[in-house]
Every structure is written in structure tokens, then in C-alpha cells.
């Protein structure tokens, strides 16, 4: 379980909101594993997590690209690593159903540390990238429209 802490703030509100949602999806997945829910439920939670991660990473990568953040490329590479780890998790659940639960717990542990470190270290650089309130506003509108489409 990851608990949001104000020190995780990047100073960019809409990104912070997306990080809070990402953490929520991650926690829901972890909860379903801890509760020993079946593969269907766990798969559903993992699916939401993967979908949201993909969506959020794209948006955050665009933001860094648009503002020529020095860490933009590092961010993309870090994101790719995380996505690979989620794919690995998915493989454990759907292709190798006999995976030892210890391996799953280790991976969960690694992923939760990754999220916190990544937000603090790389995403925190956003605070120096000059994201304007006007830019943030258009991003929020876009996200809202995506939500409407998904709903």
C-alpha cells in the first residue's frame, strides 16, 4: 500500500491528481492480491492499473516534451521499465498460474518502491519546467474529455 504524501507533489496539480489515481489503482490491485481474490478479480485490477498507467505516462511524457524538461528522455525510459514490470506481473497471472506468491510479493514491493522513487526523483523535476496554469487547464480539459469518452 502506498499512502499519498504531500512531499510527492510535483507542483503541477493535474499531474498530482493523476499520480493519486495511479496510486489508488495500484493499491486496489495489491489489495486484491492480499485478499487472495481469484484470478478474474486480480486480473481486472491489474488491467485497470495497466490501462491507467499507460494513459498517465503518455500525458506526463507529453508535458515534459512540451516543456523541454531535461529529464524527459529519462522519464520515458523509466516508464518503459515500469510497463515491462507490469507486463511481467500479467504473465505471472495469466500464463504461469503456478507462480510462487513470494515472487508476486517481491514484485509488488519493487513496484511500490519504484512509484514513490520515480515520483520524487524524476517527476519532481516538473517543478522546474515552467508548466503554466493555462497549459494545466487544457490538459485537465483533455483528461475530462477522455473520461467522458471512456464513460
Positions that interact with Fe ion (CB under 5 A): 60, 75, 123
Give dist(CA 12, CA 129) in Å, integer.
Answer: 10
61 φ/ψ sector (left φ>0, alpha ψ -120 to 50, else beta): alpha
Instruction: Assess contact for 85 and 110: CB atoms under 8 A.
Output: yes
Nearer to Fe ion by C-beta: 16 or 123? 123
| Short-list 13, 122, 1, 110, CA closest to 72 | 122
Helices 39-66 and 133-150: angle between axes, nearest 10 degrees: 150
Q: Shortest Cβ distance from residue 61 to Fe ion (Å)?
A: 8
The closest of 92, 126, 128, 127 to 107, measured between CA atoms, is 92
Closer residue to Fe ion in complex, CB, 12/42: 12
Give me 30's grid cell. Answer: 495489491
Nearer to Fe ion, 32 or 53 (CB): 53
| Beta carbon nearer to Fe ion, 16 or 60 | 60
Least distance in Å: CB of 148 to Fe ion? Answer: 25
Question: Which residue sits closest to Fe ion, CB atoms considered?
Answer: 123
Compute the least distance from the CB of residue 120 to Fe ion, in Å. 11
Beta strands in the chain (DSSP E): none
CB of 19 or CB of 92, closer to Fe ion: 19
Amino acid at each position: 500500500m502506498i499512502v499519498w504524501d504531500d512531499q510527492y507533489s510535483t507542483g503541477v496539480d493535474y499531474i498530482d491528481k493523476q499520480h493519486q489515481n495511479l496510486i489508488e489503482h495500484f493499491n486496489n490491485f495489491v489489495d486484491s492480491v492480499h485478499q487472495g481474490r481469484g484470478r478474474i478479480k486480480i486480473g481486472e485490477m491489474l488491467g485497470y492499473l495497466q490501462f491507467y498507467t499507460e494513459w498517465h505516462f503518455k500525458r506526463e511524457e507529453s508535458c515534459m516534451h512540451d516543456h523541454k524538461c531535461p529529464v524527459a528522455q529519462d522519464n520515458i525510459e523509466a516508464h518503459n521499465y515500469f510497463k515491462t514490470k507490469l507486463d511481467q506481473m500479467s504473465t505471472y497471472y495469466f500464463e504461469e498460474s503456478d507462480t510462487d506468491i513470494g515472487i508476486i510479493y517481491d514484485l509488488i514491493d519493487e513496484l511500490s518502491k519504484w512509484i514513490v522513487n520515480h515520483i520524487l526523483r524524476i517527476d519532481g523535476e516538473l517543478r522546474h519546467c515552467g508548466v503554466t496554469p493555462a497549459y494545466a487547464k487544457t490538459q485537465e480539459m483533455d483528461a475530462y474529455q477522455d473520461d467522458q469518452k471512456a464513460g
